[in-house]
Amino acid sequence: IEIIPCARIGHVFRKRRPYGSPDGEDTMIRNSLRVAYVWMDDFKKYYFQQRPEAENVFYGDISSRVELRRSLNCKPFSWYLENIYPELTLPSDSKKIVESKLNSLYQSKHSRNQNYIGHYQIRLSNSNLCIASEKDVKDKKVLV
C-alpha cells in the first residue's frame, strides 16, 4: 500500500455489477471480511463497528492467506498505523483526543496557564491538507 499526501484514489460504483455470484451472495462484504481477518489483527473491531451486519457472514477459508502473511514475515497492522498512516484517528482515540484537548484549553479560572502559545497543525477534515509553521511559533509575529 502506498499513501501519497494529497493523492486521491477513487472507485466508481456501477448501478449494477456486470458479474455476480451464482448464489447471490454479497461478495463485497465477503472480500472485505477476508481482508479484515487476514490483515487487521485486533483492529478489525473497527470494521465491525462500521459493518455490524458482517458479523455473521461466512467468509470462507483464509488459512492460505494467513500462512502467506506469516511466511512473508509481514508486520502487524499496528505497525502500519504507527509508521505509514499515523494521521489516522481511530474511533477509540477520538474521545481521548477531544477530552485531552478540551482539558488543556478549558481550565478553571484559578488554575489557568497563561501561556497560550503552542505549536499545532491545522488540518482540513477528511483530507491530507494541512498548515504548519515553518519555524517555532515563538518566532512568528502572527499566530493562527
pLDDT in tens, 100-116: 655 555 555 555 555 55
Choose the most confident range, by mean pLDDT, from 10-19, 26-35, 87-96.
26-35
- 74 inside domain: no
Q: Assess if residue 117 is contained within a domain.
A: yes
Q: Would you state the pLDDT for residue 2? A: 59
* Cα 55 from Cα 9, distance rounded (Å): 28
Whether 64 maps to a domain, the answer reads no
Please classify residue 81 by burial: count the beta carbons closer than 10 Å to its beta carbon, then call 0-12 exposed, 13-18 middle and 19+ buried: middle
Between CA 73 and CA 15 the distance in angstroms is 40
Alpha-carbon dihedral sign for residues 93, 99, 102, 103: negative
Residue keyed to cell 511466511: 71
Structural domain contains residue 130: yes
Residue 123: helix, strand or coil by DSSP? Answer: strand
Residue 82: pLDDT band with limits 50, 70, 90 = confident
Residue 36: Cβ within 10 Å count? 20
**Residue 12, domain member (yes or no):** no
**What range defines the domain where residue 113 resides?**
91-139
**pLDDT above 50 (res 143):** no
List C-alpha distances in Å: 115 to 88, 94, 107, 133: 29, 26, 12, 18
pTM of the shown model: 0.54
User: Is 128 within the bounds of a domain?
Assistant: yes
Does residue 84 form part of some domain? no
79 lies in a domain? no
Number of domains in the chain: 1
